[in-house]
Structure 1
Amino acid sequence: MSDHLPVLKVRLFGGFSASYGEIPVSFGRNTTTKAMKLLQILLYHGDTGISRDKLLDELYGREELADAANNLRVTAHRLKKIIVDAGLPSHDYINIKKGIYRWDAPMPTEVDAHQFKVLSKDVQTCTDKVKKLALLKKICLMYRGEFLPELSGDEWVLVESVQYKNIYSESLQELCKLLIERGDYEETLRFCEPACQLYPFDEWQSVRIDCYMALNRYKDAVQEYENTAKLFFEELGIRPSEHMMQQFEQMSSRLNYKPQELGDIKERLKEDDIRGGAFYCSLPSFRDTYRLVSRIMEVSNEKTKEEISP
C-alpha cells in the first residue's frame, strides 16, 4: 500500500458510492451484479477478509449452480477489470490466501461503516460529556441511510442493517438528551430531521415537538403533530402514541390566538380544496368536535322541550 496515493473513500450507508481523492468513482449504474456484490462484500470485510465458503453463500445463496467456485473465479476476474476501468490504479485488488478473500488495494481505503463502528465503541468508553457529544454528532452525521439498501434482500445485509440502525437510534437518542440538557433545541431539531425522514414511524417527531414547545413555537409543534397523525392514519391506519396525544393537548392549551374579525375567522376556516367523502381529522380534534356537537345537541334538545311544553 502506498500512502502517497489519494484515499479511496467508500460509502455504504444510504447507497453504495466511492471517491478516489476528490474524484467520484463510477463502477457502473448497476450495483447489484455479482461483480459489484463481490466488490461491496470485499470492501466491507476489509483486512479481516471473508472465507471462500461464506463468500459463495453470500454471493450465490440458494442458487443452484453446477460449479459455483468457477463462477466466483470468473466474477473476481471481471471485477478486477471493472475496478481499473473505473479509473483506479492498475493492481490485483483481490488477495486470496488459505481460502480467505481480502480487499488488497495500493491506496488507503476508508469505509464509512468501519468508521461508524469505531466511533460507536469510542462513545461507550468516553466519560467526558463534551467529547461524547462530538462523537455522537459524528455518528449521526455519518449515518446517511440504510446500510447497502440496494442489497437489502440479501440476508447478511439485512442483519448488518438492523445492527447499524440500532446504533444510530441509540446514538441519536443520547445526543438529543445531551443537547436538550444544554438547551440546544435548534440543533436537536436539525439532528432529528433526517431520522424523521428515514424512520417516520419511530416517532422522532415527538422529540421535535418537545423542542418546538421549549422554543415557544407552538404552531410549529401543532403542525408537526398534525402531519405525523395524518401519516400514521393514512399509511398504517393507527393513531400516534399516547405520549404524542398528551403533547398535542399540552401545546394546544398554550396556543394564544389574537382577536380577529368574524369574517377573517370564517375565511381562515374554509377548506382550500373542498372535496366530498370522509373528513380526516386527528383523534384529539375528533374528540373535541364530538364533545362540542354533543353539547350543542343538549342545548338544542332543551330548547325544543321548552317550546313544546304547555
Structure 2
Amino acid sequence: MEQIFRTKLDKEAQILLKVPSLLGFRDRNMVAPLLLDASQKLKDNLLLQGLLAEHGLAGLEYHPGYTLKVQTLGNLRLWRGKEEIGSKEWQREKALELFLLLFLNRGKYLPREIIFDTLWPEDDLETAARNFKVSLNAVRKALEPDRTAQQTSFYILRSRSNYGFNPQASYVLDAEELERLIRLGDSAAHPHHQAELYREAIKLYRGDFLEDLPYLEWVADERERLRSLFLDTADKLARYLYEREENEEALKLTELLLQHDPCWEPAYLLQMKIYARTNRPFLAVKVYQRCCAVLDRELNVTPMPAIERFYQKLTSKM
C-alpha cells in the first residue's frame, strides 16, 4: 500500500479504493487499516490525506477494517464484516447487554451511574464497577478481537466517566432499514411502488425486536414501537392487495399478521371478506369462529362491530 501511494494512481485505481466492488473492496472499511498504516509513513501525501478524509479516517490511528452488522428483529445476531460473532465470544451475558445498551443509545454518552443502574441495579457501587469493567473489556474483545492493548477501542468510546458507541462507526441495523423502507413507502407517489417498499420492509421483520431477550425491560418500549410499525404496515399492504383482488397474497399476509398478533381483528375481517368473495363462505365462518375464540381467551371480549355485521350478512345468505 505504501508503494502504491509513492506513485501517482490512475483514476481506475482510485475508484477501487473508494467504491466497494468485486475487483476492489466489497466493504469500504476493509481499506481503512491499509490507509492508516500508509499514512504513518507518508504524512505529506495529498492523495492519501484526501482518501483518509473521504473515508472519515482523518486523525485516527486505528480502525478494525469492517462494518458491524446487527440483526435485532427476531433473535439477536451480530457480524464483524462477514464473520458472525459467536455467543461464547461475549464471555458473559452482561457484556452483550452492555453492548446493546451503548449501541441502542448511539449518538450520546451514558454516565457510568446510568449503566450501573440499568445493568446491575441490585449491586453496590463497588461490585457494579467491577462487573462493568469486566463486561466492558469483553465487549471490546468481541467487537475488535485483533485490537492490541495499546490501541484505543474504535467502537466503544469514553469521555471521563461516560461511555458511548462511536457515532462515526459504520454499521448496518435491520431495524433502521425497516423504518427507512416504510418511510419511503409512506411517501411513494405510486401505490405499486409503495407496495413494493412495504414488501421489502416486511421481509426484514423476522420477529419482535430482540425476541430472544424478553427479560430486558429497558427495550420494551422500542420493541412495542417497532411491532406496531410492522403491524400497521402489513395491514396497509394487505388492504391494498385486497383492493387489487390479489387474494392469495393478501391471505398469506393476514396470516402473518395473526402470527404476530392473534388479536389483530382487521386481519380476521379481511380473511372473511376474501373467502366470501371467492365462494368459500364456510371458510369465512371458520375464521369468525376462530376470531371469537381467540378474543374471548386472550381479552375476554367479542369481535368488533364490523366483524359481527359482516358475519350476520354472510350467514343470512347461506
Q: d(CA) in 1 for partners of 2:298 and 2:232?
A: 25
Which of these residues, 169, 172, 181, is aligned with residue 119 of structure 1?
A: 181
Equivalent in the alignment of 1:11: 71
Unpaired runs of 5+ residues, structure 1, are 256-310
2:271 is aligned with 1:211: no
Equivalent in the alignment of 1:220: 283
Which of these residues, 189, 196, 199, is aligned with residue 251 of structure 2?
A: 189
Q: Secondary structure at the match of 1:110?
A: strand
Q: d(CA) in 2 for partners of 1:33 and 1:174?
A: 38
Q: Secondary structure at the match of 1:2?
A: helix
Q: d(CA) in 2 for partners of 1:22 and 1:114?
A: 19
Give the percent of matched residue pairs that are identical in Structure 1 and Structure 2.
22
Map Cα deviations across residues 12-52 of structure 1 (whole Å, 9 max, x no partner): 12221235666654214999921111122334345x25423
C-alpha contact 1:140 1:191 (8 A) present in aligned 2: no
Which of these residues, 35, 38, 44, is aligned with residue 98 of structure 2?
A: 38
Alignment of 1:1-310 (within 5 A): 2-3=29-30, 8-19=68-79, 24-28=84-88, 33-46=93-106, 48-52=107-111, 53-60=113-120, 62-67=121-126, 68-83=128-143, 92=153, 93-97=155-159, 99-102=162-165, 108-203=170-265, 204-255=267-318
CA apart distance, 1:102: 0.7
Q: Secondary structure at the match of 1:145?
A: coil
Q: d(CA) in 2 for partners of 1:31 and 1:131?
A: 45
**Aligned residues: CA RMSD:** 3.2
Q: d(CA) in 1 for partners of 2:238 and 2:288?
A: 19
C-alpha contact 2:90 2:139 (8 A) present in aligned 1: no
CA apart distance, 1:103: 5.0
Q: d(CA) in 2 for partners of 1:250 and 1:241?
A: 15
C-alpha contact 2:90 2:142 (8 A) present in aligned 1: no
Q: Secondary structure at the match of 1:15?
A: coil
Q: d(CA) in 1 for partners of 2:181 and 2:216?
A: 26
Q: Secondary structure at the match of 2:73?
A: coil
C-alpha contact 2:102 2:110 (8 A) present in aligned 1: no
C-alpha contact 1:18 1:25 (8 A) present in aligned 2: yes
Q: d(CA) in 2 for partners of 1:176 and 1:241?
A: 19
Which amino acid in the other structure matches residue 11 of structure 1?
Q
C-alpha contact 2:272 2:288 (8 A) present in aligned 1: yes
Map Cα deviations across residues 82-132 of structure 1 (whole Å, 9 max, x no partner): 456xxx7658442334634115898x5311111122223323333232221
C-alpha contact 1:232 1:239 (8 A) present in aligned 2: yes
Q: Would you say how many aligned residue pairs link Structure 1 and Structure 2?
A: 249
Unpaired runs of 5+ residues, structure 2, are 1-27, 32-64
Higher relative contact order (CA 8 A, sep 6+): 1
CA apart distance, 1:200: 0.4
C-alpha contact 2:90 2:138 (8 A) present in aligned 1: no
Q: 1:97 to 1:216 in 2, by over 3 A?
A: farther
Q: 1:65 to 1:102 in 2, by over 3 A?
A: same
Q: Secondary structure at the match of 2:78?
A: strand
What's the TM-score, normalizing by structure 1? 0.67
Which amino acid in the other structure matches residue 176 of structure 1?
A
